[in-house]
Structure 1
């Protein structure tokens, strides 16, 4: 049986602890194991592949010229973010990139192509960015081939987000469901693993706000909900350093952004934040039992 680093009252990977988190029928922490995966659509169409590759290359060039990417590079080069990145890297020279939930990039998925452009550009501009690996169960063969042509690899296993960060790893998870993020945190719920993680994904605060409102509706209880039903994000947000991605909705300069429906609502990077976990301690990893006062939380945070 796996043991947590403190050995006392911490969330670990034991059956007892996992069951504890899944005791409620409203719980969201899943226990999937990796399984082999191949694209559902295996057709190879050279013409479609060329068209998609051209569209991706054009999107990368235009994203690189955008005001958004200029601001993002400034943020990454700022003393504060640079300090956190160096802390994660430690003695390593490269940080691998794992992308979950990028979605389809063919047809009219402009937002997804913009999102994929980001780590590709980061690898070009920052020497500490290492290999890029991608997984999304809805990817087609043509999309996988284009991603490989762009210098990325595609994972052949569905890990359900359960990748151990044995070395410095940037997880890019744009608009992923909280279950996937919880799986990632649960798998790495040790100080020795959390310190290797940079997570670029949905703001933890925003995730919790949405989850509280959802659980309130599902339970029908306006007064309280179990804190354990909020998953590992509830605990992690208390010690994670979170830095929002800078976005502007008036003059963003992203390729095809003006053509997106409801562009402010479906902004490709809206609500994303950098998350760092170097502040994790054995005490801070302890399971937060008890109930959350819903009305008090919503009044204070929403």
Structure 2
């Protein structure tokens, strides 16, 4: 089984700019607080919370938690929260659901584009910015929520590759692009590039439950085609890497 570093070693990371700009940080914090309030007071967010609190969805989260009290959140590929509104909305959503649900634990964030200003602002908002580029290969050795809206397919694939065993997949939930849409796209256009970059995304479909989130016109760009992905596998099932287009599975001998 691949470990967390398979294929590419984790790279130590620091922001490319080392300048501390107090005025920029203050402006960014103002933008974030405004964005959080805007989202919190929206019909979109209220409807989204209602969905998360349904028996069906809460049952999935509680199954992942098991006997644990907290589910860590890992945010990959958030983008520049200083430059663009969509990353600010996505980050605001992550912060808001952590505030709402006491079973969501610490938030770790990484994107190689983050500046020193953004890093300081994220930490002021209660997040931890990773000092290594994991390239999406974090293993879910404990209950983990991966928050990855609108990431590249290869980043989802790296994550699934690193967790390609039942005990890992059963301990994670992923919020990100619809895997069903990837599958439909491949089926319709026979796109070999997507197949090559999303083998694990396509392969995990048979073991996943996808719940489409509620989207409004106001926040369409930030959240369109995003879904919750829950995985449920027999603990005795062994996932193999060969023939991933059809996914070859076998059961371990007891």
Equivalent position of 1:64 in the other structure: 40
Say whether 1:13 aligns with 2:2: yes
* SS of equivalent residue, structure 2 residue 47: helix
Q: Quick one: distance in 1 between partners of 2:134 and 2:121?
A: 22
Q: Contact 2:166 / 2:234 at 8 angstroms: preserved in 1? A: yes
Name the counterpart of 2:10: 34
Output the TM-score relative to the length of structure 1: 0.75
1:119 aligns with 2:73: no
Distance 2:35 2:198 in 1: 37
Asked whether the equivalents of residues 235 and 287 of structure 1 are also in contact (C-alpha less than 8 Å), the reply is no
Q: Which residue of 1 aligns with 2:151?
A: 176
1:290 positional shift = 8.4
For 2:245 and 2:173, the matched residues in 1 are separated by 30
Q: Is residue 50 of structure 1 aligned with residue 26 of structure 2?
A: yes
Which structure has more relative contact order (CA 8 Å, sep 6+)? It is: 1
Moved more, 75-84 or 200-209: 200-209
Alignment correspondent of 1:24:
none
**Aligned counterpart, 1:18:** none
Query: How much does 1:41 deviate?
Result: 1.5
- For the pair shown, the structure with the greater C-alpha radius of gyration is 1
User: With structure 2 as the length reference, what TM-score do the two structures score?
Assistant: 0.88
Cα contact 1:211–1:230 (8 A) shared by 2: no
Structure 1 residues 117-144: Cα deviation after superposition (integer angstroms, max 9, x where no partner): 0110011111101000000001000000
Q: CA RMSD in A?
A: 2.3
Distance 1:287 1:73, change over 3 A: same
Matched residue SS, 2:72: strand
SS in 2 for 1:274: strand
* 1:214-225 → structure 2 map (5 Å cutoff): 216=191
Query: How far, CA to CA, are the matches of 2:215 and 2:132 in structure 1?
Result: 33
How far the C-alpha of 1:33 sits from its partner, in A, is 1.9
Superposition deviation, residue 13 in structure 1: 2.4
* Structure 2 runs not aligned, ≥5 long: 247-254
The one of 167, 178, 188 equivalent to 1:203 is: 178
Residues 234 and 120 of structure 1, relative CA distance in 2, 3 Å threshold: same
How far is the alpha carbon of 1:206 from its aligned partner?
Answer: 1.2
Structure 1 pair 229–122 and aligned structure 2 pair: CA distance change class (3 A): closer
Inter-partner Cα distance in structure 1 for 2:233 and 2:245: 25
CA gap 1:170/1:134 in 2 versus in 1, 3 angstroms: same
Work out whether 1:289 is the aligned partner of 2:235: no
Question: Is residue 2:193 matched to residue 1:239?
Answer: no
SS state of the match for residue 222, structure 2? Answer: coil
